[in-house]
Chain A
Amino acid sequence: MAPMAVLKDATAIVGIGQTPFAKQLPETERALACRAILAALDDAGIAPDEVDALASYTMEETDEVEVAKALGLGGLTFFSKVGYGGGGSCATVAHLAAAIASGQATVGVAWRSRKRGSGPRPWKNTTVQLPTPAQWTRPFGLLRPADEIAMLTRRHMHEYGTTRDHLFNVALACRNRANQNPAAIMYDRPLTREMYMTSRWISEPLCLFDNCLETDGALACVLVSAERARDCRRTPVYVHSAAQGLPAQHHGMVNYWNDDPLTGPAWTAARHLWKHADLTPDDIDVAQIYDAFTALIPLSLEGYGFCARGEGGAFTEGGALEIGGRLPLNTSGGGLSEAYVHGFNLITEGVRQLRGTSTAQVPGAAACLVTAGEGVPTSALLLRN
Chain B
Amino acid sequence: MLTPVVDADGTPFWEYAARGELRVQTCADCGEPRFPPRPCCPHCRSFDHEWRPLSGRGRIWSYVLPHPPLLPDYAEQAPYNVILVELADAPRIRLVGNLVSEAGARLDSVPADRIRIGARVQAVFTPEGLPQWVLERP
Contact = CB atoms under 8 A, between A and B. Distances in A.
Contacts of B3: 139
A41 B45 CA distance: 49
Interface string B91-129: 011111110000000010000100001000000000000
Given A123-B70, A143-B71, A138 B2 contact: yes
A256 B94 contact: yes
B1 A135 contact: no
B82 A158 contact: no
A131 B11 CA distance: 12
A144 B64 CA distance: 12
A140 B69 contact: no
B64 A139 contact: no
Given A126-B71, A131-B7, A132-B9, A139 B61 contact: no
A132 B93 CA distance: 16
A152 B62 contact: yes
A203 interface: yes
Contacts of B62: 151-152, 154-155, 158
Contact of A142 (B4, B35, B64, B69): B64
A340 to B, nearest CB: 16
Q: Interface range on chain B: under 10, 10 to 19, 20 to 34, or 35 or more?
A: 35 or more
Contacts of B16: none
A87 B128 CA distance: 36
Given A123-B70, A129-B2, A132-B36, A137 B64 contact: no
A198 to B, nearest CB: 14
A203 B95 contact: no
Contact of B36 (A150, A152, A201, A257): A257
Interface string A226-270: 000000000000000000000001010010111101000000000
A251 B96 CA distance: 14
B89 to A, nearest CB: 15
A257 B64 contact: no
Contact of B70 (A129, A141, A150, A158): A141
A124 interface: yes
Contacts of A206: 64
B63 to A, nearest CB: 6
A324 interface: no
A360 to B, nearest CB: 32
A143 B63 contact: no
B63 A133 contact: no
Interface string A205-222: 110000000000000000
B65 A203 contact: yes
Contacts of A154: 62-64, 117
9 contacts: A135-B14, A136-B96, A138-B5, A139-B1, A139-B2, A143-B66, A155-B117, A203-B65, A257-B35
Interface of A: 121, 123-126, 129-144, 147, 150-152, 154-155, 158, 200-206, 249, 251, 254, 256-259, 261
Interface of B: 1-7, 9-10, 14, 35-36, 42, 61-67, 69-72, 74, 77, 79-80, 82, 84, 92-98, 107, 112, 117, 130
Given A136-B4, A144-B70, 15 more contacts: A131-B5, A132-B10, A135-B4, A135-B5, A135-B6, A136-B96, A139-B4, A140-B96, A141-B70, A141-B82, A154-B117, A202-B67, A203-B65, A204-B79, A257-B92
